[in-house]
Structure 1
Amino acid sequence: MLRAHGTRPRSWSTPPIRAACCPGLLKPLVCGQSSSVSAPKTSRVSATNGVQVSTEQIKCLVTGATGYIGGQLVPELLGRGHAVRAMARKPAKLDRAPWRSQVEVTAGDLTKPDSLVKAFDGMDVVYYLVHSMGTSKDFVAEEAESARNVVAAAEKAGVRRIVYLSGLHPEGADLSRHLGSRVEVGEILLASSIETVVLQAGIVIGSGSASFEMVRHLTDRLPVMTTPKWVHNKIQPISIDDALYYLAEAASADVPESRTWDVGGPDVMEYGDAMQTYADVAGLRRRVMVVLPFLTPTIASHWVGLVTPIKAGLARPLVESLECDAICHEHDIDAVIPPPAAGLSSYRDSVVAALKEDHTGRRHLLRFSKVASQ
């Protein structure tokens, strides 16, 4: 079964609203299609001559709006003046979202093509934020079919751009089924006639992010731990705020072509060092790690399931993604979407921000694990 990216939003909190800063609006983006999403006229400064140009408000469809990423992306898009339609398999789950009254909510399931017709109608940009957590045996085929359904619906509706969040990975390496499936989805989208922006990110640091909660709980609970050899693999974490920044800016960025773009924070480190930094920020003693090379992903997944709220079935794709380095191999994104004015958040600052959240994310993580494992 396909799920929205990450766990449920930490408490449907609204992140700080930032002003749009990108120069271009697609090609240019003036959509004449009808839509039930309100789209008042706005004006912008032309990237070429500085003249105020009238343009239609960008209409964005956020799939996976009940997920950790999607639920927080919606207010980011609203803050930039975009019209937003939020899609979920069960729209009632969005009733308590603080932004509910500002968006149109629609039902849709990527595995059911007919449900996408209405959801995609009149949209300029579609955010693809749904992926399988590997809980079904045929999830690879299911994800590929979902990607093809998205392409078909987008082409029929005249969508201008698809923005997809994928994962950082080394080129030419043998990838896990989970990570390989995410890469395949990106390739299907890129092969379509729709302009596609594939953002490849690593571990997202924020309270409620499954990847961060794994770091948090392992470090909190195990002063001494036996670990797999992947604790020495390199990662390039990105703060939730910076991930949302890149996603939101991708709606209007003047991209030259459909392609993948690596995004990450300023720090490259070993996974074990990320745990040690977390311990330091949290006021814990330095953790002792004993590496056992023979720990397989299956064994490691059960180990994670025993000491964290993440069930083994959901821990496996997270663990498998650590089997290879997850770092940026290029920084071409800087020419299209410049870093935030204040700069990208360091890993330490991202952890500090996550720990300042009112909620630990554990409650949402437990709820997510229970639902996704059914």
Structure 2
Amino acid sequence: MSQDGPVPAPRILVTGATGYIGGRLVPELLAAGHGVRCLARSPEKLRDHPWADRVEIVRGDVTAPDSLGPALRGIDVAYYLIHALGSGSRFEDTDRQAARTFSEQARAAGVRRIVYLGGLTPADVPESELSPHLRSRAEVGRIFLDSEVPSVVLRAAVVIGSGSASFEMLRHLTERLPVMVTPSWVRTRIQPIAVRDVLRYLLAFADRADDLNRGFDIGGPDVMTYRDMMRAYADVAGLKRRLILPVPVLTPGLSSHWIGLVTPVPRSIARPLTESLRHEVVCQEHDIARYAPDGPGRPLRFTEALELALRRIQEAQVATRWSSAALPGAPSDPLPTDPDWAGGSLYTDRRQIAVDASPQALWRVIEGIGGDNGWYSFPLAWAVRGWLDRLVGGVGLRRGRRDAQRLRVGDSLDFWRVEEIEPGQLLRLRAEMRLPGLAWLEMYAEQDGKGRTRYRQRALFHPRGLLGHLYWWSVAPFHAVVFGGMARNIARTAGRESNRKRLKATESN
């Protein structure tokens, strides 16, 4: 039961609820009075969302027919908001098979409509010449439209909203590079759309009773080049005018490396974004307005979308981020609780220290770690590790935090992912930097038998092959500085904050 009364029986399924768009669509559907079921490979990632107790969450995978049957049972409208990422043909095969499996299972379950958010494609470019990712999005849309379930396919170009990968790429390129030598794709015309309008269009098909089966181009009112977008961002953000010098020599591969170094968006995501930007993506029609009337001031202009996104970031109200979704190549294995996990090695670095503060004060420091607060030890070492990670295509340290004070399961935290939280007691992070193995970091706020506060810390590493073992022993000499310093500084910070509060309370009395 929610605070607002009985939860309606689910009649809408949302796939990709742990991602950027799906995580924002769910509360919109709930606000409109719909019963919602969420399909997730890792349901625990949705556990701490503010709407989690108002939806039904089921474990499943769109590539696994056995898990889709129960998830689609009793569903009228199914939102398909997931995409594979990667390189080569494998991700296209995954996308294709997942879409076919989903449409077949939806037909068998009696689903009335599938709603899919794909990519906007140029009208004058043969599909075979599209970037692999645009080509795959187009193919998935066609699979749904050709299926036996009536489908609505929405095709969007660049989505602008706080936390979207496209917005983060635009923001960091513009803020960090007052003079830019840029790829030729900065001259490509694009029709961006505000995330609010994307959600409004998606929501419009939640309760239609007809058998509509067609695709729609969706975009904002502005058609502009990427260079125009960067200059508009500089104006809205109050930055000096940016000097942008396009050159023809930066290929999509080189561009993705460059973006990976300058922005928080890792190469694995930057590459499909930049590959797609070589095509002009402009809406050929606006028929969507017949089914979702725009009204005054809608769709939002590009500068209005920017202003809203920046305001959300400044107010720390970013509901979802691109990094909420699992990244390509990131480990997804659960924490190894057995030291002999999988019959292999598990290296451990343990630290514990007494803290002159309450467990609650210590927990506030633990939960606030990362992002602007840093990692409480040897900042240069963490910065170098972040740069090295980005050089090999990893996420680096620039993802930061979704919220400056609160964490929830599934949040990205620099180059970690929050795997488990026991409020006031345990924070467990799983590494998403590029490593020859799997790594976790655990932080505990505890009390001993005499009521004294204790901070306990555990770093774990499960090596992969000989390189993994060599990696551990090569960095082990630095653990006393990095992990030991972290434990000492977290304890000191908690004690200092606790003393400050005690002193303030004494002065007020």
Instruction: Establish whether residue 317 from structure 1 lines up as the match of residue 272 from structure 2.
Output: yes
Partner of 1:219: 174
Work out the CA distance in 2 between the residues paired with 1:367 and 1:254.
33
SS of 2:28's equivalent in the other structure is: helix
Q: Is the 8 A contact 2:30 2:36 kept in 1?
A: yes
> 1:301: how far off?
0.7
The answer (yes or no) to whether the contact 1:207–1:359 under 8 Å persists in 2 is no
Structure-2 separation of matches of 1:230 and 1:288: 16
Structure index of larger Rg: 2
User: Compared with structure 1, are the counterparts of its residues 177 and 344 closer, same or farther at alpha carbon in structure 2 (3 Å cutoff)?
Assistant: same
Is the contact between residue 204 and residue 291 of structure 2 (CA under 8 Å) also seen in structure 1? no
1:99-140, Cα deviation, whole Å (9 max, x unpaired): 111111111111111111111111000000000122575000
Which residue identity does 2:191 align to in structure 1?
Q
User: CA 1:362 to 1:129, structure 2 compared with 1: closer, same or farther past 3 Å?
Assistant: closer
Q: Where does residue 283 of structure 1 map in the other structure? A: 238
Check whether the contact 1:135–1:372 (CA below 8 A) recurs between aligned residues.
Answer: no
- CA distance in 1 between counterparts of 2:323 and 2:57 reads 25
- Evaluate the alpha carbon distance shift between residue 148 and residue 180 of structure 1 in structure 2; reply closer, same or farther with a 3 A threshold: same
What 5-or-longer segments of structure 1 have no aligned partner?
A: 1-36, 40-57
SS at match of 1:130: coil
Distance in 1 between residues matched to 2:320 and 2:72, nearest whole Å: 32
Report the counterpart of residue 336 of structure 1 in structure 2.
291
- Are the equivalent residues in 1 in contact too, given 2:62–2:102 (CA < 8 A)? yes
What secondary structure does 2:83 align onto? strand
1:38 paired to 2:8: yes
- SS at structure 2 position matched to 1:132: coil
Residues 161, 196 of structure 1: 8 Å contact kept: yes
Contact 1:125 1:251 in 2 (8 A): yes
2:103 is the alignment partner of 1:133? no
Is residue 109 of structure 1 aligned with residue 98 of structure 2?
no
Instruction: Give the superposition deviation at 1:253.
Output: 3.9
Task: Give the letter for the 1:63 counterpart.
Answer: T
Letter in 1 for 2:166: S
**What is the distance in 1 between the residues matched to 2:168 and 2:239?**
16
- Residue aligning to 1:90: 42
- Kept in 1, the 8 Å contact 2:19–2:320? The answer is no
Structural mapping, 1:166-177, within 5 Å: 166-173=118-125, 174-177=129-132
* Deviation readout 1:186-234 (Å, 9 max, x if unpaired): 1111111101000011111111100110000100110011111111111
Cα gap change, 1:38/1:371 in structure 2, threshold over 3 Å: closer, same or farther?
same
Identify which of structures 1 and 2 has the higher relative contact order when contacts are C-alpha pairs closer than 8 Å and 6+ apart.
1
CA offsets 1:121-165 (integer angstroms, 9 cap, x no match): 110000000001225750001100000110111011000000000
Q: In structure 1, how many angstroms separate the alpha carbons of the residues matched to 2:325 and 2:144?
A: 27
Q: 1:293 to 1:253 in 2, by over 3 A?
A: farther
SS at structure 2 position matched to 1:111:
coil
Q: 1:120 to 1:258 in 2, by over 3 A?
A: same
Measured at CA, do residues 257 and 363 of structure 1 come closer, stay the same or move farther in structure 2, by a change above 3 Å?
closer
Aligned-pair Cα RMSD in Å: 2.1
Q: 1:229 — aligned with what?
A: 184
Matched, 1:359 2:311: no
Q: Is the 8 A contact 2:19 2:324 kept in 1?
A: no
Letter in 1 for 2:279: C
Identify if the C-alpha distance between structure 1 residues 257 and 105 changes in structure 2 by more than 3 Å, giving closer, same or farther.
same
Alignment size in residue pairs: 320
Q: Which residue of 2 aligns with 1:244?
A: 199
Change (3 A) 1:334 1:204: same
Structure 1 pair 65–355 and aligned structure 2 pair: CA distance change class (3 A): same
> What code does the residue aligned with 1:270 have?
T
TM-score w.r.t. structure 2 length?
0.60
Code of the aligned partner of 1:68: Y
Instruction: Tell me the distance in 1 between the aligned counterparts of 2:198 and 2:49.
Output: 20
Q: Tell me how far 1:261 sits from its aligned partner.
A: 0.4
Aligned residue for 1:343, secondary structure, equals: coil
Equivalents in 1 of 2:52, 2:286: separation in Å?
Answer: 35
CA, structure 1 residues 119+79, in 2 after alignment: closer, same or farther (shift >3 Å)?
same
1:271 aligned partner, one-letter code: Y
TM-score (norm 1): 0.81
Conserved in 2, the CA contact under 8 Å of 1:168 and 1:262?
yes
